[in-house]
Structure 1
């Protein structure tokens, strides 16, 4: 396996080692403390996500391949390594090993926290996460505090007869999403029904805000039969900081496009629903003004420079040009993290999910983001025809800008460039194959957009 090295940072002298999966496999095997009778062997290690703040903190997520030499069984264990400047990791480890609770699990492989002295790295073993108190609760099975509000959502008197939970997404110390399939039987009639929910664990009180957002948008969508659909929250549990949500049914826009399943109609529906959201005037819980967007872009630039220091001058110039050309506009209801799998299509309506960033902002953050991801489909799926992605972009743009105020299109080149830069940094964070070349290609696309060669 080809391992792209990290750029050097004097605050983290062990960073190169932390980015070497083979070396990390050996260190984890030496320092992770086993639990129980099963002597798991670590047969493989993969680094799959990185967050980094220069000179301060680095968070690395790894997946470990575990082998049971007794039964031959194999499974995957996620671990998170956190590195701080100035020896803070060891102090945190010493505190956590005294206070970390016992983590419920069917067959825990290792103790929840460890320390790698060679790297000054604090290690957290999934599902333990010191900033996500609700995550172990979600992964432990149908606890009463999770089960009760889900059963209440059925209405009447129901008892649980089946439960299946699976992890959908996990970003260590930030958040996690768990899909829950619940089968219940109505006591009075014996009727059985299965429903699907999603539970999200948060590191702060953002889930409470999102709960209110979901209810506001659901009410707005229901009152006027909008083209967009949002499912309301089932409950927000303040103690574990967990939000329970109903499933939004439908096929994702990404899947429809990859199957080329009436793609143009799917794009027109999505563009129309997004335009309707942006012009709805629905109440927003917070604002995301120009200066906050500048902060996001500057942080993106710093991470890109660390990923590709050889392109630093071009990155600085491109980010600087985007920031200088952005203009403050009247805020509109904006998703702010709209990707192709955040749109679910069914019965002529577009369901929207993952609304944690919903705010009053420049709506072109959404529109440009969707369009950048359409052009970027070949980077995610190498067999996808690049010209088809560009066709998709044009279809979406024609429909969207035909439904919003005429002047909005003037801001597209700069917002499109910003969206492309954000997409580029995602390839590095996820350590996807070929990320260095993808960053360079997307940097070129961003510069073309600023020069008016795309829009």
Structure 2
């Protein structure tokens, strides 16, 4: 096995997993990290969290590196990104001056420690290593990782909020990376060392003016749901700090709905229904209230799906052919369906973004909100439920989807629910990328997602009286609808006019 075959895709999945999991590349990576640390023996385990493959260009892997805390027996996690391939080196060289300046600042402020340097390059492996908080696209990341700056920023944001309080403000914060994705996105968590003086705050970083738009949208959505969400709320940002290009959010208690799907219960069923109610309310949010939103149509969603899955045809050509056929058929079918005017959409409505808290469900993450077909949100959530039920090997998928539609469907146009099934098929292809490339069962789980997408498409074509163009799939669970009945409207508790 060699790196060139892995990067080109000639070595298929075996080549990708060789880079990510085999002894030789891992040893090379550990040697590079030891050289960056002030003492080599500080390096602990390197935990692979995520990986991406751009055929013919690069492999990118995201790790949490455990580093020994001096004077203790404990370790702290430090996120890093490793890129193999000429594209990764080109990106690094393009931002070389900015990276050097950021690294110098991190070293001056003590934010690099215990690392002596935050980048490493190994040409013979086409490897580039980047250690948090380094990112040339987000120059504010270094100072937003500095507890001293965090303390002053949060104090200023609290004072600017105009909310009077006699409670003393925290003097120190612990900073934790929740997400480190150089060039893409970063999320940080700020925990006061004295919990009695304040709560947890999350920080989401932006480039350009994106943060201001999300602040407006999330605030308006939160206010709308407070009036129309039937007890479901949306987390509203605490502040938009323009000079740091960051949104601050309050911490939430509870856990995402995706965690609760491991153990189905009546409480989970009620939460699914309430999520449907809240989504229907969001789709009625007036455009004049939401403000300007970028448009997003079915063609754009299909294009995004094709890009998100462009590694699959290289690794498994037969699956690539199936994806191409399905997306082509989806576009043809969409042209036959009646449409409706676009509405406010969440844009990334999934169980990870429905937070189950003691006070009731809370929706989060309005970064992807668009002016789009509301069927997009419905279809994405139905596909997401399929993914989690498959991941957890849980029965009851049909019942879970039914309960969600019980909350959403009353009063919704029938045609919207039909289009939602078309979006569900497309989203099942798109979310196949969430199967981790370094999992040994990547191929079987990815194939299962594509087969489920084909099954949804088959049933939809039969519902519309069209011949199914995809092969029948043995063992695929029957859906809510049949050719004779069409899409069955949910009934029962939760229906509303």
TM class by smaller structure: 0.7 to 0.9
Residues in 1 aligned to 2:357 and 2:74: alpha-carbon distance in whole angstroms = 40
SS in 2 for 1:243: strand
- TM-score, length-scaled by structure 2: 0.77
Match of 1:231 among 228, 235, 238: 235
What number of residue pairs does the alignment pair up?
439
Indicate whether 1:242 and 2:246 are aligned. yes
Residues in 2 aligned to 1:214 and 1:231: alpha-carbon distance in whole angstroms = 7
Aligned counterpart, 1:368: 379
Indicate whether 1:254 and 2:258 are aligned. yes
Q: Are the aligned partners of 2:285 and 2:344 in contact in 1 as well (CA < 8 Å)?
A: yes
Counterparts of 1:90-129 in structure 2, within 5 Å, are 91-92=93-94, 95=97, 98-102=100-104, 103=106, 104-105=110-111, 107-129=113-135
Alpha-carbon offset, residue 329 of structure 1: 4.2
Aligned counterpart, 1:425: 433
Indicate whether 1:443 and 2:454 are aligned. no
Q: Are the aligned partners of 1:269 and 1:349 in contact in 2 as well (CA < 8 Å)?
A: no
Alpha-carbon offset, residue 410 of structure 1: 1.5
Name the CA shift for 1:18/1:42 in 2 (closer, same or farther; >3 Å): farther
Name the CA shift for 1:145/1:418 in 2 (closer, same or farther; >3 Å): farther
Report the more deviating stretch, 35-44 or 288-297. 35-44
Residues in 2 aligned to 1:98 and 1:394: alpha-carbon distance in whole angstroms = 54
SS in 1 for 2:367: coil
RMSD: 3.3
Per-residue CA deviation, residues 270-323 of structure 1 (Å, 9 max, x unaligned), is 111111111232525222123321221221331322343342222221222223
Alpha-carbon offset, residue 230 of structure 1: 2.1
Name the CA shift for 1:132/1:379 in 2 (closer, same or farther; >3 Å): farther
Per-residue CA deviation, residues 205-241 of structure 1 (Å, 9 max, x unaligned), is 3222111112222232345565442233222223332
Per-residue CA deviation, residues 136-188 of structure 1 (Å, 9 max, x unaligned), is 33332241442224543563454324533333333332112222234779xxx
Aligned counterpart, 1:8: 8
Q: Are the aligned partners of 1:424 and 1:439 in contact in 2 as well (CA < 8 Å)?
A: yes
Alpha-carbon offset, residue 444 of structure 1: 0.6
Report the more deviating stretch, 132-141 or 60-69. 60-69
Per-residue CA deviation, residues 94-139 of structure 1 (Å, 9 max, x unaligned), is 5456434332437323511111212323321122222233333333
Match of 1:332 among 310, 318, 343: 343
Aligned counterpart, 2:390: 379
Residues in 2 aligned to 1:30 and 1:108: alpha-carbon distance in whole angstroms = 16
Residues in 2 aligned to 1:376 and 1:258: alpha-carbon distance in whole angstroms = 12
Higher strand share: 1
Match of 1:274 among 276, 279, 288: 279
Residues in 2 aligned to 1:326 and 1:311: alpha-carbon distance in whole angstroms = 22
SS in 2 for 1:258: coil
Alpha-carbon offset, residue 371 of structure 1: 1.6
Match of 1:155 among 149, 159, 164: 164
Counterparts of 1:175-214 in structure 2, within 5 Å, are 175-182=185-192, 193-214=197-218
SS in 2 for 1:118: helix
Aligned counterpart, 2:465: none
SS in 1 for 2:397: helix
Residues in 2 aligned to 1:105 and 1:325: alpha-carbon distance in whole angstroms = 54
SS in 2 for 1:214: helix
Residues in 2 aligned to 1:167 and 1:43: alpha-carbon distance in whole angstroms = 18
Alpha-carbon offset, residue 335 of structure 1: 1.1
Residues in 1 aligned to 2:86 and 2:398: alpha-carbon distance in whole angstroms = 42
- TM-score, length-scaled by structure 1: 0.84
Name the CA shift for 1:150/1:40 in 2 (closer, same or farther; >3 Å): farther
SS in 2 for 1:448: helix
Residues in 1 aligned to 2:121 and 2:254: alpha-carbon distance in whole angstroms = 44
Q: Are the aligned partners of 1:417 and 1:450 in contact in 2 as well (CA < 8 Å)?
A: yes
Residues in 2 aligned to 1:219 and 1:21: alpha-carbon distance in whole angstroms = 51
Indicate whether 1:26 and 2:27 are aligned. yes
Indicate whether 1:216 and 2:223 are aligned. no
Higher helix share: 2
Alpha-carbon offset, residue 393 of structure 1: 1.4
Alpha-carbon offset, residue 362 of structure 1: 1.6
Name the CA shift for 1:39/1:346 in 2 (closer, same or farther; >3 Å): closer
Indicate whether 1:434 and 2:441 are aligned. yes
SS in 2 for 1:337: coil
Residues in 1 aligned to 2:118 and 2:453: alpha-carbon distance in whole angstroms = 43
Residues in 2 aligned to 1:426 and 1:21: alpha-carbon distance in whole angstroms = 22
Alpha-carbon offset, residue 92 of structure 1: 3.9
Q: Are the aligned partners of 2:229 and 2:277 in contact in 1 as well (CA < 8 Å)?
A: no
Residues in 2 aligned to 1:296 and 1:75: alpha-carbon distance in whole angstroms = 36
Aligned counterpart, 2:493: none
Gaps of 5+ in 1: 186-191
Aligned counterpart, 2:51: 50
Residues in 2 aligned to 1:292 and 1:165: alpha-carbon distance in whole angstroms = 37
Q: Are the aligned partners of 2:230 and 2:277 in contact in 1 as well (CA < 8 Å)?
A: no
Per-residue CA deviation, residues 11-55 of structure 1 (Å, 9 max, x unaligned), is xxx967643453333222333474674333645444432334444
Gaps of 5+ in 2: 460-477, 482-497
